[in-house]
Amino acid sequence: MDELATAAGADSLEFRLAHLENARLRAVLESAAQRFGWKDRVKERRPNAGVGLACGTEKGSFVAACAEIAIENGRILVKKVCEVFECGAILNPANLLSQVQGAIIMGIGPALREEMQFENGEMLNASFRKYQVPRFDDLPEFDIHLLDRPDLQSVGAGETPIIAIAPAIANALFHATGQRVRQMPIRLPR
């Protein structure tokens, strides 16, 4: 969607909203953008920094994420993630919040560095020391909002919170560098 917005010369949020008919997806997207301060932050141009957003739906639940990244010492650092998640009626808010936090952390891993590396049929990073999952010092500031819909049945909350993280980071990298990355782990363009 961001590539289409760029081709149309439009802001990625406004482009999505102009083409989005699903009210629930619209609600999480508008809420995340408002909480993140998208309209002002996307206009800022700072060296080695960018913002991006993404949204999606899976298994009857809806998610939108905004991400702020910085490029420091040749690395992409996720500084802030604002995510709004809606899965119908919330039965256990504390448990759901933990699920969403875990999904964000889990999404950052493959987005930025998790990959199985092979050479001559042998896995080079088969240990936890070599396979780089996110550590505590890799975690961004979180702003998570659970959108409760008591008028709806509860639906899946396990997978959906993860799906917007990698594309939001990739879109933030485009905002910072002007170059698209379409594979994971996301690496700085050369």
Give the type of residue at 17.
L
pLDDT digits (tens, 9 = 90+) for 13-63: 999 999 999 999 999 999 999 999 999 999 998 989 999 999 999 999 999
Percent of the chain whose pLDDT exceeds 90: 74
CA distance 139 to 104: 9
Please report the pLDDT score of residue 134 as a whole number.
78
Please report the pLDDT score of residue 118 as a whole number.
85
Residue in the block written with tokens 């639906």: 155
CA distances from 170 to 34, 61, 67, 120, 175 (A): 20, 22, 9, 31, 9
pLDDT band at 86 (very low <50, low <70, confident <90, very high): very high
Does the model's pTM come out above 0.85?
yes
Tokens of 134: 């996110």
Compute the average pLDDT of residues 96-102: 95
- Domains detected in the chain: 2-177 (3.30.365.10)
Q: Collapsing DSSP states into helix, strand and coil, what is residue 1?
A: coil
pLDDT band at 126 (very low <50, low <70, confident <90, very high): confident
- Give the DSSP letter string of 118-178: EETTEES--STTTS----GGG--EEEEEE---TTS-----SSGGGTTHHHHHHHHHHHHHS
Please report the pLDDT score of residue 138 as a whole number.
84
Residues 6 or more apart whose CB falls under 8 angstroms from that of 43 comprise none
Please report the pLDDT score of residue 45 as a whole number.
87
Residues 6 or more apart whose CB falls under 8 angstroms from that of 102 comprise none
pLDDT digits (tens, 9 = 90+) for 128-186: 777 677 788 889 999 999 999 999 999 988 889 999 999 999 999 999 999 999 998 99
Please report the pLDDT score of residue 167 as a whole number.
97
CA distance 123 to 35: 42
DSSP state of 178: S
Q: Find residue 52's DSSP bridge partners.
A: 67
Please report the pLDDT score of residue 181 as a whole number.
92
